[in-house]
Amino acid sequence: DIVMTQTPLSSPVTLGQPASISCRSGQSLVHSDGNTYLNWLQQRPGQPPRLLIYKISNRFSGVPDRFSGSGAGTDFTLKISRVEAEDVGVYYCMQATQFPHTFGQGTKLEIK
Partner 1 sequence: EVQLVESGGGLVQPGGSLKLSCAASGFNFSVSAMHWVRQASGQGLEWVGRIRSKINNYATAYAASVKGRFTFSRDDSKNTAYLQMNSLKIEDTAVYYCTRHDILTGHYYWGQGTLVTVSS
Size, binding site for partner 1 by CB under 8 A: 23
Distance CA 31, CA 49 (A): 24
- Lay out the site mask for partner 1 across 8-37 (x = CB under 8 A, - = otherwise): ---------------------------x-x
Q: Could you say which residues in the range 66-105 bind partner 1, by CB under 8 A?
A: 92, 94, 96, 99-105
Distance CA 12, CA 81 (A): 15
Using rule CB under 8 A, residue 108 touches partner 1: no
Distance CA 109, CA 88 (A): 5
